[in-house]
């Protein structure tokens, strides 16, 4: 593990070589700068789009295995789907209802939509170029082929025709368009075809147009039998099969053209908690409406004639700027099904076994181990199993009386939920605070709530008007005739699958003050009453933002007094204007500020006289960077906080969040060193420029390539594989 002094200097004009923690010299006198000036802020949606572009760039990185490069390209598709469903839809809604909101950047929604359209069209075009010109040929060389219609052999053609007649045609319901068959209401992101017809049907209808909705139950990729191919894995797109057999769906008519298209709709659920008496029932109703929200984007095959695309745009009330003509399948995310092919391990990231700390290696009783010391885990490099094991042991331990837990995203049949169900059935007092409104997980959370209730657990849906985003477990255990509390606090969700893909911290503790604070926070969530004073825990929306600003200001005062001053913050996003202004003031005072922000960042670094002491890096790699860590030098008395909250208004002002301190030199030093590993990354680190663009860092001079994620795999995992750079 590198110490801070070993950190390389990134090859950008905005890195500094000051000793870690040393207050930087005050800048030369410059005219006073108004830190409220709009040009000092980046629009959050444009910043989010930049993150999606950085993800797409990974598809070109030849250091990644080939199927992983394809996966990055598909993640870009998935991210863009959500971007349009939520972000673009929100901007359009502001305009529709004349409720335009202007943020610190000063841009109006219309201006942002225009910039989004320009950027998104460029990047979607690049995406399909990367797919068609780079990835598909490379995959074909490795024996993974997508067989196009003009490449079908006679035997393949016969097999595909039989498949169409037996598996596809009986399910498809083509819809002719005429006065009695108006344009159908199409499901969000569903695959559809617009068909141009010639002729008159048996009822004398000759509208010339029809729609073929592709059933969602059908696979989008069909594997051809091995005996019909010359080795390898060979797939046919469902769209190709339907296209090739469109004539069969309109007997007696002539198909002049068949073109695939996909409509993206507003998918943001709106439930006013003040207007409903049962949140779960209201959400069940809203889930159906998500499939049929207002149109926000139309994707069509690039060979679709303009009269047909114009017809579709009119049907959906969209403008030409909202049309995306693509050279390939319009529903690329369905390609995820091939990214984990068992017989192509060399084209995927090598497997690894997460590490287990020594104190837990042979610990039969987790409660005894946690009683000895606080235990910090960094997933996925270290195993998530101690968290699930804690709940399993609690469920079976006769001395455990009660378990309380928050759940945001987990899944109804996860190990965590199984343990809670067992605990309830074993007579423990199990109380679970479930946030039903975790976006796109609402249905799963409703199923989860139902399962827990059936087992006898008490299920609470949090606080009206505030999402419960805190990650907490509290176990109450009788020991030596006294009650003792144990807690798990985390930066990520209780989802074992995500714990193999997302980087997050977990803290297991029996600290008296901290566990008492967690108990108080649960009481606030479950019952009613005034905010209780906490000894160690910070909570949003009450104390977290205020304290975060105080900690930043303390570094500012130290720098002004000539003392060493240093802030390192790692988060998913930085959008809160008050936090940004506090960081600008700290930079002006000479505080060294190193930000590791994966996604949205509205702060502009490197602006003379304002943010010249601030650097911003985004790490994009094998794992999704998800942990939130806040480090303050504090005149040599270092402090580290870890949180479920990003530095966003929604987290700090409108959610229930937890933020906990690390205590003891061992844990604080470890956290600081791990932050420095990310700062020293010169292979998968993207550095934010003052103009809002990102430049990928690379080794300079005699520097060795350094990947933060590879370094942590080597240090923390039990059996890291070093065959590829990650």
Q: Kindly tell me the burial class for residue 556, based on how many C-beta atoms sit within 10 Å of its own C-beta (0-12, 13-18, 19 or more).
A: buried
Q: What is the C-alpha to C-alpha distance for residues 94 and 92, in angstroms, rounded to an integer?
A: 5
**What residue ranges in 591-683 does DSSP mark as E strands?**
592-597, 614-619, 624-625, 629-632, 639-643, 655-661
- Tell me which DSSP letter residue 224 carries: P
Measured N-to-C along each axis, helices 415-425 and 442-455 cross at an angle, to the nearest 10 degrees, of 20
∠284-81-710 over CA atoms, to 5°? Answer: 110
Q: What is the C-alpha to C-alpha distance for residues 463 and 540, in angstroms, rounded to an integer?
A: 12
Q: Kindly tell me the burial class for residue 637, based on how many C-beta atoms sit within 10 Å of its own C-beta (0-12, 13-18, 19 or more).
A: exposed
Whether residue 541 is preceded by a cis peptide bond, meaning omega within 30 degrees of 0, is: yes
The span from the first CA to the last CA of the chain, in angstroms, equals 17
121 part of the active site: no
Q: What is the C-alpha to C-alpha distance for residues 157 and 345, in angstroms, rounded to an integer?
A: 30
Q: What is the C-alpha to C-alpha distance for residues 635 and 554, in angstroms, rounded to an integer?
A: 9
How many residues does this entry show for the chain? Answer: 726
The distance between the two most distant Cα atoms of the chain, rounded to a whole number of Å, is 90
3-state helix, strand, coil in the chain (%, to 5): 40, 20, 40
**What HEC string does 268-293 produce?**
CCCCCHHHCCCHHHHHHHHHHHHCCC
676's CB contacts (< 8 A; 6+ apart) are 2, 3, 4, 7, 20
Q: What is the C-alpha to C-alpha distance for residues 579 and 568, in angstroms, rounded to an integer?
A: 14
- Catalytic residue among 243, 245, 469, 626, which? 469
Q: What is the C-alpha to C-alpha distance for residues 388 and 89, in angstroms, rounded to an integer?
A: 38
Check: CB of residue 599 under 8 Å from CB of residue 618: yes
CA-closest candidate to residue 436, choices 222, 278, 605, 638: 278
Q: Kindly tell me the burial class for residue 44, based on how many C-beta atoms sit within 10 Å of its own C-beta (0-12, 13-18, 19 or more).
A: buried
Q: What is the C-alpha to C-alpha distance for residues 590 and 535, in angstroms, rounded to an integer?
A: 31
Catalytic residues: 469
């Amino acid at each position: 593990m590198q110490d801070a002094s070993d950190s390389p200097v990134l090859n950008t004009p905005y890195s500094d070589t000051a000793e870690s923690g040393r207050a930087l010299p005050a800048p030369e006198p410059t005219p006073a700068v108004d830190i409220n000036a709009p040009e000092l802020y980046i629009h959050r949606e444009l910043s989010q789009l930049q993150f999606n572009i950085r993800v797409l760039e990974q598809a070109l990185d030849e250091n990644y295995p080939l199927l992983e490069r394809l996966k990055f390209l598909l993640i870009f598709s998935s991210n863009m789907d959500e971007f349009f469903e939520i972000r673009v839809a929100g901007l359009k809604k502001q305009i529709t209802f004349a409720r335009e909101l202007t943020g610190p950047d000063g841009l109006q929604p219309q201006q942002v939509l225009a910039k989004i359209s320009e950027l998104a069209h460029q990047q979607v075009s690049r995406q399909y170029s990367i797919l068609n010109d780079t990835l598909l040929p490379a995959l074909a060389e490795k024996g993974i082929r997508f067989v196009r219609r003009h490449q079908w052999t006679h035997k393949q053609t016969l097999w595909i025709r039989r498949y169409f007649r037996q598996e596809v045609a009986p399910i498809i319901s083509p819809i002719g368009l005429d006065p009695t068959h108006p344009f159908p209401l199409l499901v969000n992101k569903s695959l559809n075809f617009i068909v141009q017809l010639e002729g008159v049907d048996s009822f004398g209808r000759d509208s010339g147009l029809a729609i073929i909705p592709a059933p969602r139950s059908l696979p989008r990729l069909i594997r051809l039998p091995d005996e019909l191919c010359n080795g390898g894995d060979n797939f046919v797109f469902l769209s190709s099969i339907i296209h090739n057999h469109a004539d069969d769906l309109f007997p007696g008519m002539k198909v002049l053209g068949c073109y695939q298209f996909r409509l993206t709709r507003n998918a943001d659920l709106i439930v006013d908690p003040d207007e409903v008496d049962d949140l779960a029932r209201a959400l069940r109703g809203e889930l159906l409406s998500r499939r049929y929200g207002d149109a926000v984007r139309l994707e069509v095959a690039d060979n679709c004639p303009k009269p047909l695309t114009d017809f579709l745009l009119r049907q959906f009330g969209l403008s030409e700027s909202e049309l995306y003509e693509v050279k390939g399948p319009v529903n690329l995310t369905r390609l995820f099904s091939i990214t984990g092919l068992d017989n192509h391990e060399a084209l995927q990231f090598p497997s690894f076994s997460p590490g287990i700390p020594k104190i837990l290696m042979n610990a039969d009783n987790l409660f005894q181990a946690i009683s000895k010391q606080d235990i910090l885990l960094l997933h996925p490099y270290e195993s998530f199993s101690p968290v699930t094991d804690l709940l399993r042991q609690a469920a079976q331990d006769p001395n455990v009386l009660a378990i309380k837990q928050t759940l945001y995203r987990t899944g109804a049949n996860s190990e965590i939920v199984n343990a809670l169900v067992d605990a309830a059935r074993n007579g423990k007092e199990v109380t679970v605070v479930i946030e039903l409104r975790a976006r796109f997980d609402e249905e799963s959370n409703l199923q989860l709530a139902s399962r827990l209730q059936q087992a006898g657990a008490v299920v609470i849906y949090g606080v009206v008007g505030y999402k419960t985003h805190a990650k907490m477990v509290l176990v109450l255990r009788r020991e030596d005739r006294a009650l003792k509390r144990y807690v798990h606090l985390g930066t990520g969700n209780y989802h074992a699958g995500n714990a193999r893909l997302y980087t997050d911290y977990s803290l297991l503790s029996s600290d008296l003050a901290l566990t008492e604070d967690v108990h108080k926070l649960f009481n606030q969530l479950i019952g009613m009453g005034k905010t209780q004073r906490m000894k160690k825990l910070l909570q949003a929306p009450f104390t977290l933002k205020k304290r975060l600003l105080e900690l930043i200001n303390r570094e500012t005062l130290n720098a002004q007094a000539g003392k060493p001053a240093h802030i390192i913050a790692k988060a998913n996003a930085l959008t809160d204007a008050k936090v940004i202004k506090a960081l600008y003031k700290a930079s002006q005072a000479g505080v060294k500020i190193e930000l590791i922000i994966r996604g949205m960042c509205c702060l502009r670094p490197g602006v003379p006289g304002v943010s010249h002491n601030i650097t911003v890096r985004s790490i994009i790699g094998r794992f999704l960077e998800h942990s939130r860590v806040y480090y303050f030098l504090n005149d040599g008395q270092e402090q580290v906080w870890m949180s479920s909250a990003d530095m966003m208004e929604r987290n700090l002002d409108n959610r229930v969040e937890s933020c906990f301190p690390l205590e003891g030199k061992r844990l604080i030093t470890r956290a600081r060193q791990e932050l420095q590993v990310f700062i020293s990354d010169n292979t998968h680190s993207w550095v934010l420029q003052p103009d809002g663009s990102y430049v990928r860092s690379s080794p300079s001079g005699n520097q060795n390539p350094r990947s933060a994620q590879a370094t942590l795999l080597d240090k923390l995992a039990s059996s890291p594989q070093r065959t590829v750079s990650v």
